[in-house]
Structures are given as C-alpha cells and as structure tokens.
A and B are shown apart, each in its own frame.
Chain A
Amino acid sequence: MFSERVAPTAQGLLGPPSAEPPTFPRVPVLGYSDCSGPFRPGERSFGRQYAHVYAVRLAGMRPTLERRARGRWGNDAVLRKLSELQVGEKCCVVGTLFKAMQLQPSILQEISEEHNLVPQPPLPKYIQPSDELILEDELQRIKLEGAIDVQRLVTGTIVAVYGSEQDDGRFLVEDHCFADLPPPLPWNGPTSDRFVLLTSGLGLGSGSGEALLSTQLLVDVVTGQLGAEGEQSCAAHISRVILAGNLLSQNTQSRDTINKAKYLTKKTQAASVEAVKMLDEILLQLCTSVPVDVMPGEFDPTNYTLPQQPLHRCMLPLASPYATLHLVTNPYQANLDGVRFLGTSGQNVSDIFKYSSMDDYLEILEWTLLAGHISPTAPDTLGCYPFYKSDPFILTECPHVYFCGNAPRFQSKLLQGAEGQRVLLVTVPDFSTTQTACLVNLRDLTCQPITFSGFGAEDEDGDMEVGH
C-alpha cells in the first residue's frame, strides 16, 4: 500500500545525475486538535485516598451498564444493588470486580516482619487457579462464581452480572456483560492517502548500537532522504509521526546513585542525560520535516503514575522551538485530519497481561475497548493519580484508531461495532527489538508495518523479524 504504485521509478536513481531533482512538499495538516484535556489533571494533590477513583468509575459507568443489561436480559430485568439482594431472586447487579490473587505482590506482606518473607521476584504472570472474583458496589461486596471466567478478568473492571444469590452467600452468575463499544464518532477522514507513522520503544541510551542504524533509516525515510523518488513522494504523504513511549531504554533507569557509595557516583552523570541528548537530535531531524507527537512511556523522564504528563520542553532545547513538535500525555487522544486517535504507551496493556490469562496484546487491547475502560487495573496494580471528580480513562466515545505501544510484535485488526463503529486496533511493536514501525493509512484505516535493517557480521537469511 505504501509503495506499490511507485515501482516504476524504483530504479530511477541508478543513473547519472539528473538536472533538477524534485522536492515534494509535505502534505499539510488538515486538522489537528488535541483532546487530551482530561489527562492533564492540572493542579494535583495526592492527599486523597484511591477509593474515590473506584467510586467515580462506578458512578460514571453505571448508566451505560444498566442500559446494556436491559438490552441483553430484557427490559424487565430487575436491577438491584448488593444491599437489596434477596436469596434466590434472579436479578442483575452492576459493580466493580475485584480479583483476590494469592501471588499479587503486596507491599504490606513484604515489609511485614512476622511473615519473614523474602520479597517476591517479579513474575511474568501472577495468575493462579485459586484466584477468586468478588463483585463490589458502593456499599457491599459478594463473591462470584459460575459462568464467569475468573482467570481472564482483572480487578477494576465494571461489569453487570445476571444471576442469583445462593444460600451460602455467594452469587451464582448465569451471564455477565461489559460496557461494550462506546458510541461511534462521525467519520471525517481524508479522501486521499494520508499516513500516520506510529512507532514506540526507540530505546535510546541502551548502549547497543543495533537499533541505531534502523532508527536513522526510519528518520531518513520519513524526512525523505532515503529511497527513490517514488518512495519519497509517498513519504511526503506521511502527515504525522507519533512516538508512543519508551523513547529511552530501560538501561537508562539504573539507580546507581541509590545503591552505590557516594564517592563512586559523585561525578557520574545519569545515563538518561546522554540518551535525552540523542533523542533531541533525532527529534530535531524529524521536526524539521514532519509534525511529531511525543508520548512519554515507562522509562521516560516524567512522572510514573498514569496519566503521564508530557516531557518537559527544557530537555529538548534543539527541537522545542519548532512548532511541529508536540509533547503530549500518555494516554493520548487527538483528532488528526478528522480521524480520532486514542492510544497509550502500553503500560495498561502490559499490566493487564500480568494479571490475566490473556496472552495476546491485541486481544487485551480489544478487551479494554469492550470493557469501556482504558486501564481497569489502575490504581490497583498500576500507578495512577487519585482522581475524585471523574475517571478520565472511561471510554465515552469510540476512537477510530486505538493503539498501544511497546508490544512484543506488530498486530492490527479492524473492529466493526454493532452501532456502526469502526476501530482500527494496532499494537505498535517495540522498535529497539523489532525495528518495525507502523504506517496507518487514514483514508481506509489500514495499517502496514515497515521494517528497517542494516547488515551485520552474522548476516541475513531468515529472521526478518529481528532485523539484521
């Protein structure tokens, strides 16, 4: 899709210099508006308890769930609160799920001296067959059993269950439903080919030069230096680049200053300083040619809790004077050329991965969309700001492109909803390991991966995924 029609001019540069090489103008931005307002709390105070987050989440999603419940189990389905339950009566309850997991890291257990526990090493998954699901609403909680997949679900999801209370005090679930896809947005997409390049996990500062050439090739393709004329003219249709987090590598996170003696670390500078300088240079090259949106990720120098605030422009002195550089929050929501984008740097999906039996990032991404909430596990296992007025992670409108960064591999799927929603789900792979970025075509909501590679001593043959 990117370059099929340019094949004729592919070999055009294998010849003597021509007189006037063409220069292609970058497609102008048709329309851009940043809708990430809810993700900037503004004045922040951490004096509140996290219970308020769950309260506003339930209050915010209850109407949607009640509507879905009525639609699914009939208009005459009885909706009850937990405090009004009667034994044996079939009814429908809306509440928040809580999964009691034995392996879930608990800071209280770790520091408790009575238990004499060694801190648990981080596991890839914390699920166990003995996990239990509990439904909580504003006042009470009740254990769930029955037709509900305990392994798959995670804490913090708002769900409506249909069933009855048993004599032993548990709720026998016959059916359950989630908020499902939010209402669709009108489509104002472009009529001609326009691309948005999605990439994440540049991983600068990692100390390994493998991905550096690939990063440079990426920048060169986007800025129009690489490729024959046809490819360059196609690249001129890339109207935006979104860097979805983890611009710095995990290696820059070493906290030597905490572990080592002061005299050893006195004159050393943090690894992230060099990495940010490299990032600045790369961003400068990109910004002189294309609008760039930079989202922070797990290893980037910004706050840890979601929603992560944009990187500060003082760290990027070379690139920040350019109006084409946009430093944005994580999660990020914006209207690009009439298409609504919503995405995160992947912390939400990887956190659900740890606490659920779902293995596929694309499946998890789709599930969060169907559950109506970007990150249900926050604040339980994922750091989050203590919201109390409203939960900004609730999905109120269905985006056209929904992505998550730092996935292990590239996947994409076009989801069609019952109310006419069309969502392109994209898991953007980690560039430092896969050397792959994604090109989304805004005209028809298709996505194509683009891989870069150099050549190395061990050299090719085969594994294209890893690059060379």
Chain B
Amino acid sequence: MADELYLENIDEFVTDQNRVVTYKWLSYTLGVHVNQAKQMLYDYVERKRKENSGAQLHVTYLVAGNLLQNGHVCHKVAVVREDKLEAMKSKLSTIASVHVYSIQKALLKDSSPLYNTDYDIVKTNLHNCSKFSAIHCDAAVPRMPPDIPRAQTSLQGSSQRENDTGAPSAPAVNGHGPLAAKHPSQQHKGIMGMFAAKAASKPQDTNKETKAEASGVSTASSKPPTKNNIINNFFGKAAMNKLKVNPVPEQPKEEKEVVKPSVAVAEPESSPNPVVEKPGKRTESARIQQKDRKSRTKHVDRSDNEEERDPENAKRKRKRIKQLQSDSSDEEDVPPPPTPEEEKAPSPPPVPALKTELEPATMEVSAGGRKRKRKRVLKSKMFIDEEEGCMVTEKVYESESCTDSEEEFPKPKPPAAHKQPVLPMKKEPKEERKTLKKGAAPANRANKQVSIMGFFHKK
C-alpha cells in the first residue's frame, strides 16, 4: 500500500539512520504538505507504540495557545518534550493547536538538534521553501531581472548590470556563474585590443574600460584559480609560493593594501611572453588596480606621472627637456625615467610595470597638468615584505625637496650616462627592492637615462 510506505520511510529514518525527524524535514524529504507530514509522524508513533510498547521513541510536540501572563493574554507557541506536554497544556487557557513536532530515538536535552535539522533542510531547499506550506501568497513572486531597479551608477557597463541583476533573479542558489563568464570575455577583448596595437592610447582605453567594468569582488574571486597558473609562469619558484597566496586573499579585501604584483604584467616591449597570458594578468591586475584605486582616493595621483609606453616616454622626454631648459621643476622628470627601468628583468619588472602601465590611466587626466611643480607627490612604492611573504604597495607622499631620487632625476638628463647605473644601485636598498634585478639593462639603457631612474623611484 502506497500509504504505508511513509511508515516504513519514517521507520528507516528514525531507527536505522538515527535521525531527528522533524515534520518539516519529513515534509521536504517526502514532498508532502506539512500537515500531512505532521499526521504521518503521529500515525507512526501511535502504531509503533501499539505494536511494541517498549519502543524507544522520543517525541516532541508543538503546543500553541493562549496564556494569561502579566495581565494580558499572550499567545504562546512552544516546543515541548512529551513528558511536559500535559503540563504545558494545562498552563494554557485555550489550546490552539497541538501536533507532533519531531521524532527521534534519543532523548533530547535541548532543542538545538531540532533547530539544526530544520535549518539544514531549509537551506537545501531555499528556492522553494514555501512549497509545502499551508499558506500560499500570490504576491510573492521573484521579479524578472530588468525590473529590478538599477541602483548602481553609470560606472558600470550595461552588460555588467545585466549580469549583476541576472544573478539574483536566477534560482536563489545560483552563484556568480554568469557574472564571471561575462567578465573575462569583456576584459579579454579589451586586453587583446591593448596588445594588438601597442599604441600609447591603448592602456588608457583599457584602463578606462576596466575602470568601467565592475570592480566586483565576486568576479575577482573567481579568477584566482585560473590566474595562478598564468602568474606562475612569470615568477620564479621562490616567488611563486608567495604570490600564490596573494591573489586569493586579495580578492575579498577591497580596501586593504592590495598586492599588485601578484599579477605580473609584462610590457609589450619587454616581454616575449605569450599574449594570451598577458590578458589574464593584465585583467586581474588592472582590476585590482582599479579596485585599489577606487577604494583609495580619488584625488589625482599626480605622483603617478609614470608611463609605460615609449611613445609617451618620448613625448614626455621631449617635453621634459624643454621644461628643463625652462627651469621648471623636476617633478615631471620623474615619470619618464622610471618607466624604462621597469622593463628590465622579467620577474620584477612586470610587477612595477603593471603599476606604471595602469597609473598612466590616471595620469591621463593630469597629463596636461604638468604645470604643477612644487607639490608633494603621491607615489606608490612597492616592496616585498619578507615577513608576510607578499608584495606590498604603499602610496607614500614624497615631497620634491626632500627625496633624493627625485632631485636626481633631472641630473641624469644631461648625458651623464655613466652615473646612471650607480644611482639606481644605491636606491635599491633604500627602496627595499630586494627582488629587482638589473641585469644588463642599465647599461643598455644608457641612452635612456631618464627611464632607468624612473624604474627605481617610481612607485
């Protein structure tokens, strides 16, 4: 008899599996109305006790009714053990309902197992938690994605928005699948475009695009697994372990000091690495950068007068020279020198290069503001923090007059190439760039003195 099946089921749950069978759990498991589940439980208890009076079954009941308390009539709903049932019923002036709440083999000391069972079963059935309930509400329908008010500002791209709103409207347990899927494609497009042309305008475009893209932590969090492989290719094994840790904890943190270098991005000029890897890294770094940038300050990063593109370097070099001649301050000199220097070694450079590449984005804005000379500049310094095993980037205010590095920048401008390699060397310990190697790069770049200096003093 199909009707008796439930009895066997309950028997199995209680006796064999030693579960706490609450009415709600039974209702979801057997797919029946809650009231039927309650009746099933009661039926089971009655029959079992009739068959075998020594049956080890403990039952809890739900009692609800009116109670006179503190001068007003209070409606009380209580879960009680079987032995206290009558006592509770006698306390109530009117009984509104009595039914079986749960059956279990062992005697319960307190009601937390009941709560846990209910919690678990509801959690696994969140999307249809009112399916077997006795009350049905017509008004409770989830809204379709476009109807959900778009509270976000225009910073986000429209496709992004659809993903964001699409996610919640999907079954409640839906993760960020669509969101993550969208992001890589968009970013890849942008990144491929970036690498394709190698034009100076590219980084700005990409950066703007990445800026425009959601700084969603959720998407970032879906990235690390895939990115790690790519990242590892760039770094040596020593740094790999350190860096692996970084992307993962980084993502959830939006406002902590973000470790940029975890994503190594090589400049087009310097690295022969496969283009495919770059988009990935650049994406993540760009995004991290953007997140970081957004979360930090909006005020102009004037100090980030760094650029990674040679054309821009050239442009600025020219500008700089002119300015030198016109006795302008050295602030603008800082940006061009740092850049080429960063392109030196594959492993360290990608890290700072990343910063330089992205910083120009903000520098775009201030590109015209080279007139500002005598101010404190906000520079990003990046160093490896050995004790924590991560690369830390700090934005530090340096005033022109007190930092040697910046004063020295204009000096190398004139063809004093020989001094170049020496100066950067000295700066290294100061800046704690332990992992940055110079290799033959400085010598090669003798003609590009400005950029060498920039490598060490940027960030």
Contacts and interface: CB of A to CB of B under 8 A. Distances in A.
A171 B123 CA distance: 66
Given A212-B115, A449-B72, A457-B109, A229 B134 contact: yes
Interface in B143-196: 143, 148, 151, 167-169, 172
Nearest to A1: B73
B64 A223 contact: no
Contacts of B168: 317-318, 320-321
Given A2-B96, A455-B110, A209 B115 contact: yes
Contacts of B40: 17
B409 interface: no
Interface in B70-124: 70, 72-81, 84, 87-88, 94-100, 108-112, 114-115, 118-119, 122-123
Contacts, number: 260
B402 interface: no
A221 B69 contact: no
Given A213-B79, A449-B75, A451-B74, A227 B64 contact: yes
A3 B43 contact: no
A267 B77 contact: no
A317 B100 CA distance: 34
Given A227-B64, A285-B122, A26 B39 contact: no
Contacts of B97: 3, 6, 9-11, 13, 227-228, 230-231
Nearest to B74: A449
Contacts of A314: 151
Interface stretch (B48-56, B125-133, B324-332): B125-133
Interface string B410-437: 0000000000000000000000000000
Interface residues of B, number: 78
Contact of B94 (A4, A15, A288, A449): A4
Contact of A25 (B111, B136, B169): B136
Of A22, A225, A436, most buried by chain B (CB within 10 Å of CB) is A225
B279 to A, nearest CB: 29
Interface string A82-105: 000000000000000000000000
A451 B96 contact: no
Interface in A251-301: 263, 266-267, 269, 281, 284-285, 287-291
B115 A216 contact: yes
A13 B115 CA distance: 21
Interface size on A, as a range, is 35 or more
A318 B75 CA distance: 31
B78 A266 contact: no
A357 to B, nearest CB: 24
Interface in A400-433: 412
B126 A318 contact: yes
A326 to B, nearest CB: 12
Contacts of A267: 249
A288 B130 contact: yes
Contacts of B34: 21, 224-225
B118 A230 contact: no
Contact of B79 (A26, A217, A288, A291): A217
A420 B10 CA distance: 59
B130 A11 contact: no
A324 interface: yes
Contacts of B252: 269
B67 interface: yes
Contacts of A16: 39, 42-43
B130 A289 contact: yes
A24 B95 contact: no
A451 B87 CA distance: 17
Contacts of A436: 74
B135 A26 contact: yes
B440 interface: no
Of B6, B43, B130, B135, most buried by chain A (CB within 10 Å of CB) is B135
B137 interface: yes
Given A1-B73, A213-B79, A231-B96, A28 B138 contact: yes
Contacts of B79: 213, 217, 453-455
A15 B100 CA distance: 10
B446 interface: no
Given A7-B94, A453-B78, A323 B115 contact: no
Contacts of A225: 23-24, 27, 34, 132-134
Contacts of B96: 2-4, 6-7, 10, 227-228, 230-231, 234
Given A10-B96, A322-B142, A448-B72, A223 B115 contact: no
B36 to A, nearest CB: 5
A288 B143 contact: no
A226 interface: yes
B140 to A, nearest CB: 5
Contact of A18 (B39, B80, B84, B172): B39
Contact of B133 (A223, A287, A468): A223
B65 A3 contact: yes
Interface in A215-247: 216-217, 220-221, 223-232, 234-236
A23 interface: yes
Contacts of B84: 455, 459-460
B141 interface: yes
Contacts of A291: 139
B35 A21 contact: yes
Given A225-B24, A464-B76, 8 more contacts: A9-B97, A17-B36, A223-B130, A230-B97, A324-B137, A452-B77, A455-B80, A459-B84
27 contacts: A2-B96, A4-B94, A4-B96, A14-B39, A17-B6, A24-B134, A25-B138, A26-B137, A212-B115, A221-B77, A223-B130, A226-B77, A231-B96, A281-B123, A288-B140, A314-B151, A318-B126, A321-B168, A322-B142, A452-B76, A453-B76, A453-B78, A454-B79, A455-B108, A455-B111, A457-B110, A465-B69
Interface of A: 1-4, 6-7, 9-11, 13-18, 21-26, 28-29, 209, 212-213, 216-217, 220-221, 223-232, 234-236, 263, 266-267, 269, 281, 284-285, 287-291, 312-314, 317-318, 320-324, 412, 436, 439, 448-457, 459-460, 464-465, 468
Q: List the 3 closest A-B pairs by CB distance, nearest first.
A: A224-B135, A454-B111, A228-B97
